[in-house]
Amino acid sequence: MGTIDHVGVIVHPRRKIDGALAVVEEWAQARGARVGQIRVQGQDRRVAEPIEPERCAFIVALGGDGTVLAALHKAAPVERPVLGVACGSLGALTSVKAPDVASALDRFAAGDYTPRKLPVLAVKRDGNDIGEAFNDLAVVRHGAGQVIIQIDVDDAPYAGVAGDGIVVATPLGSSGYTLAAGGPLLAAAADTMVVTSVAPHGGSVPPVVLAAGSSLTLHVDGGWSGARVEQDGQVVGAEKPSGAQRPFILEVAFRPDAALLVDLDDETLIAGLRRRGVIADSPRLKVRETRAQKP
């Protein structure tokens, strides 16, 4: 890559990151660059002077998958790559362990990595942009009672859901909340999004997988307790209604190649899910293996 003047870091609010951070600072200093911290809303941990994402050649996320997601949200609008460093166990988005930071930075600078392009869900509320989600968008009840959501696909009704809510996920996010709610696991390379209901109260609303070009519109009626909108686990517009909440409309669009993640281990999504135990073989197979190993 070209000249590196500034390296941005985003850090986990609590995990031990001092050793990995020191390596990043030494690496940058050896190249005449400075390390700055990109501020994340709601986090008060300070490890370096603040810097804006657009001034950075790339961004290093020190923590876990949540830290990488925060970095992606900052990096995508200014088209900066993100290197995720696991200060703990490896996740789906962190491809480097903390002790390997120096060699990882050398490989990245030399171009010895796989660019992993990630899609995003762009969301509008009543016609106004409210942000993006790399994992998922969840619309759930804010308190007691149910949230009622009419799901329209390509401007035609799909289903009405009364229950705890729904979750809309990218292929990356399909292995999280969606899978827990009974939805399908999407192939990492698929240009698709999936809509899954959460604890529906009756009816028949199977998960629906939509092509990238499909339009998705959600008509949300939160009733007296209201509905909560979350993007990548972060609440958007979290004010608790004082009375009956006015219904609102969410428009969701799938955008491919919205962010660039630096991949240094070439582990597939499915291999990573197996490593982390999200996908596990039937216990029956383990019993058979145990029997086969007995003399």
Looking at the annotation, which residues are catalytic?
65
Q: Which of 54, 53, 68, 115 is nearest to 260 (CA)?
A: 115
| Cα distance between the two ends of the chain | 57
**Token digits for 254?**
């799938």
**Strands of 204-278, DSSP E:** 208-211, 216-221, 227-231, 234-236, 248-263
Distance CA(227)–CA(219), nearest Å, equals 11
Distance CA(169)–CA(117), nearest Å, equals 16
**Token digits for 285?**
């197979």
Residue 209 contacts residue 194 (beta carbons within 8 Å): yes
Q: Which of 48, 105, 36 is nearest to 74 (CA)?
A: 36
**Strands of the chain, DSSP E:** 6-11, 34-37, 58-63, 82-86, 96-97, 114-125, 128-133, 136-141, 147-153, 156-169, 192-200, 208-211, 216-221, 227-231, 234-236, 248-263
Residue 257 CB: number of other CB atoms within 10 A? 12
